[in-house]
Structure 1
Amino acid sequence: MTAAFGALAVVSLGLMVFGIARAVSDDPLPVAGEGGQAIEITQDDMSSLLKGHSEALTGGDKDAYLAPFKGSSAQLKAKQSSLFSNLRKVPFSVSEYQFLKIDGRAVDHYGAGASASVDVAFVHQVKGADAGPVAEWYRWTVEKKTKDADPQVTAVGPATPELAGFGEMTNYPAPWDAYDEMAVTVKPHTVILSDAAQAADARRYAPYIEKAAQDNLATWKAKGPKSGRTMPGFVVTLEKNRKVYKQMYRQGTRDEGDESIAEAGVSIQMPAVSAGGNQAKVDMENGGARIVMDTAESRFTRPDYAAGVLEISHHELAHTLVEPLTGPDGQAQLWVVEGFAEYMAMRDDPKAAARELRGLKAYYGGRFVDPFDGKLPTSDNFHSTIDEENSAHYSLGWLGIRFIAEKYGEDKALAFVAEQYKTPKGMDAQLRKATGMGMNEFQDAWADYVRKQIS
């Protein structure tokens, strides 16, 4: 699922969700027995708590925000206090907590108090960056000691992967959860998050990330199709601690513990959800994506780091740019996904393009005895545990998009990418529209083009 060319990769996490409403059970919550003496944690309790929690966040009322945690441990209260402060630094256009579902002993008839696990969505949209509202999913442990007491939250963590409708991802922890003190650097097209201890590095890299954002947005505006939504901006987290980096947005997933993942950057899909009490089906699959980049990687640490930061930023921001185009039928072919991102990274960087071609020539002319077979890499075999093979697949995808752009025009190449994101199974028709050739004829022509590049 993940791979690296020069330790550069994207995670595509297949999260197809139409709205928060899909996670709410139609079954009624348990009710009290006769006599009305039961201690209950009800949906009304949670809806009221979360309404107040949302209003406290948007209104900047820290005491009210922390009220549901007043009976919890000092450690949890301190963590929620830092979370409030971190969230207040982010330019949200939407920020609200929604109740999803409840599990556990929500009703107690014996006076011991009720306790339940409650799944909660933090629905948010970063102003100027997200195409629509997205969500992070928590599981709270909630207790109620007496019938008339307010519910209290005693533990907070990621929702379980079994949360209906959301696949294996909970998008937890976001940087505002991971950092005791978060720094936010806002540029016209980028919102850059980091640990406060790494704020100076973030400010140093921010101009180059913003430049990549401007370049990608301008290219798509000038040459991309006029229909279909793309991202207006980008949310980027910079992190040099590899353990923290690998957990960001994906704690508890197989990627977090996979030591074979050598990526230097990642773009993580964020499914679109409904907000503001509107439970209607949302009109796009992904409302945004979150980029995380490893600033301990050589692109950030070498003396000419500006070129390295621009290269990785062009790549990862390209992935994010087109996420709102994703259709309901799954992921585009990976040679298109990664080829497009590499094309954007190399588009205005002839040195990087020459370096990539040298790597491809070395692959086919070096110790790998299998000659170039003239076939585009398939999604099933695109990501390899062999670094050189992995790199070659990225390069072949790049040459696929570059071939279309050079021979038929950049507008045709970008329109092809957009159509492939919308309808992954329409490859043959999409190629005919872009090049006049079906898949087999295109592959033969592309193979001749590649052979000329590596001869």
Structure 2
Amino acid sequence: MAGPAAPPMVMPSVNPMGPGPGVAPAPYGAVAVPVQFAAPTATMPPGGWGPGAPWPGGARPGGGGWVPQPYPWGVQQLPPQPRRSYFWAVLTTLLVVSMLLALAGVAGTAWVLRSGGDSPTAVTWVDVRPEVGLKAIDEVLARHADAVKRKSVDAWMADVDQVDPGFVKRQRQEFENLTKVPFAELQFERTNISAPKMAAFLPSQLFDRYHAAVRVIAVTVRHRVEGVDTKVVATPWLAVFGYVGGRWVIAGDGAGKDMPTGAEGQPWDADGAITVVRDDRVVAVLSAEDADGGQKLLQLAEAGLRQVAEVRPTGWDGKVLLTAVNDKQIFDTYFAESPDRVAEVAAIAVPYYGAVAEWSARPSYATTRVVFNPTELSAPTAELQHDLTHEFTHAAMGPVTGPYTPRWVVEGFAEYVAYKDGKYNAAGIRAALGGMTIGTFPDDKQFYEEPRNYISGWLACRMIAETYGQDKLIAFYEAFMRMSEVESVSREVLGVGQTQLEQQWRDFVAQAGK
């Protein structure tokens, strides 16, 4: 069942910021305040939890923030005043008027263009009618998709402006990366978003280079990864098109805050070469230099999927695309609103839809992708295993996670699955909670302000499973697709009200800590 977009969910941190605003859901985080287990299968590091021990799931205490350095302001010599030029006055007037006319949708307008260099040297007439200009852009996008399918780098680069060597290099790398992903379907589709709205993502240097003959196009990358996706997945691309030599070419990428979820965060966006390893249920994308570790990662992923399938055997594809590349920007993209958290997060699960959530009123859920923080790829095996299982649980529950599913349920259930085979002891519970008062279920707005809420949520889910049965716990989770309050869900599924459920939770925690 496809429901509305899930609520913003982000990783907790020791010094957190609240979830950023936006239409689309932020990624689910993998984290667990460490708990000491007695079972040999526990994910605790050798020596137990303590100063210097890794935090399963990726949470890290005391993550430092970036301290801006003082800018060396100083008196600089002003450039010489240019001579008055009637020609430049005409060009400036044409520039302003042409921009207004273009936004108004007239048939054509005079635009200032460069010719061979970055300085404007000519004025030309560009037909901006949708059936002309946008048709040409659509044709470029169609040729781009076809070039990937045919693995023709020449066809791909034929529609790329060659003026910026850095951008040309990145485009070649993106093409090579795209050809390594096993696409069953791939299409670049222009999405109708107003020009003024998209103009906010136009880098100033590209406007300076192309002047009025430039525009940012919202492109939906519709694709299915072979062996993983049963539905078409939509990811965003903000493509900058410039008018050069009498035609529209790809000239850059959009940038700025409020980018749609996943923009610049896809595996093919990596700044280096990638490699793909796969089996029947996992497609893992790694940096080319990490190819030797691909089989180990697949083994851990398969173990995680088996553990999730024991709890959630149906209701989801049971397959996943995993990105684990050594490009920090790929991971950082998902933390644009809270960059200080990146160092404290090991992995994230990102829900994707059949349309880009920010560009669609009612997108339907398609799948969940898992993205690893490259700094965590060398973590101990047990820690990686926990992180994968936690994230795969989010993927398994993605189809039934909606805007009313409490965060303590979402994250607590993922921890329940990841720690299901562990036998906790009283000392481990007391150490993990650290004197935290168990009162009422954590509020969504404050959930990520306290990392120990992951433990309290886990204990709540474990209490429900042990008291009412695992099937009831799953039904409790799923009921939030139909109801918005814990009270109503609890009465329907468990037969008790929220107050009584919270008391059972408090008693369970107290008993577990004895």
Q: Which TM-score applies when normalising by structure 1?
A: 0.76
Aligned to 1:451: 510
Aligned residues: 395
Please state if 1:301 is matched with 2:379.
Answer: yes
**Relative contact order (alpha carbons < 8 A, sep ≥ 6): 1 or 2 greater?**
2
In structure 2, the partner of 1:23 is none
Of 419, 422, 425 in structure 1, the residue corresponding to residue 484 of structure 2 is 425
Which residue, out of 116, 121, 136, partners 2:215?
116
1:98 pairs with 2:189: yes
Matches within 5 A, 1:5-404: 15-16=23-24, 29-32=105-108, 38-41=125-128, 42-100=133-191, 101=193, 103=195, 114-130=213-229, 132-145=231-244, 149-158=246-255, 168-221=260-313, 229-239=315-325, 243-244=328-329, 246-247=331-332, 249-250=333-334, 253-255=336-338, 257-259=339-341, 262-273=344-355, 284=364, 286-294=365-373, 296-297=375-376, 300-302=378-380, 305=381, 307-327=382-402, 330-350=403-423, 353-354=424-425, 358-363=427-432, 368=435, 372-384=437-449, 389-390=450-451, 392-404=452-464
- The one-character-per-residue Cα deviations of 1:243-273 (angstroms, maximum 9, x if unpaired) are 44642x437x113x22475111211222332
Partner AA of 1:215 in structure 2 = Q
Larger radius of gyration: 2
Q: Check whether the contact 2:238–2:263 (CA below 8 A) recurs between aligned residues.
A: no
Letter in 2 for 1:437: V
Check the 8 A contact 2:413/2:461 in 1, yes or no.
yes
Q: Displacement, 1:13?
A: 8.4
Q: What per-residue deviation string (whole Å, max 9, x for no partner) do you get for residues 209-267 of structure 1?
A: 1221233134312xx6xxxx5243111122466x44642x437x113x22475111211
CA distance in 2, matches of 1:184, 1:73: 29
Question: CA distance change for structure 1 residues 435 and 50 in 2, over 3 Å: closer, same or farther?
Answer: same
User: 1:416–1:288: structure 2 CA closer, same or farther, 3 Å change rule?
Assistant: same
SS at structure 2 position matched to 1:254: coil
- Code of the residue aligned with 2:125 in structure 1: it is A
> TM-score, structure 2 length as denominator?
0.68
Counterparts of 1:254 and 1:437 in 2: how far apart (Å)? 39
% identity of equivalent residues: 22
Distance 1:115 1:293, change over 3 A: closer
SS at match of 1:414: helix
* CA distances 1:316-338 after superposition (whole Å, capped 9, x unpaired): 111122222234xx252111011
Go from structure 1 to structure 2 and tell me whether the alpha carbon gap of 1:220 and 1:281 turns closer, same or farther (over 3 Å shift): same
Cα deviations across residues 150-198 of structure 1 (Å, max 9, x unaligned)? Answer: 311221245x5557xxxx5343231211232011111211111121122
Change (3 A) 1:91 1:33: closer
Q: Distance in 2 between matches of 1:14 and 1:415?
A: 29
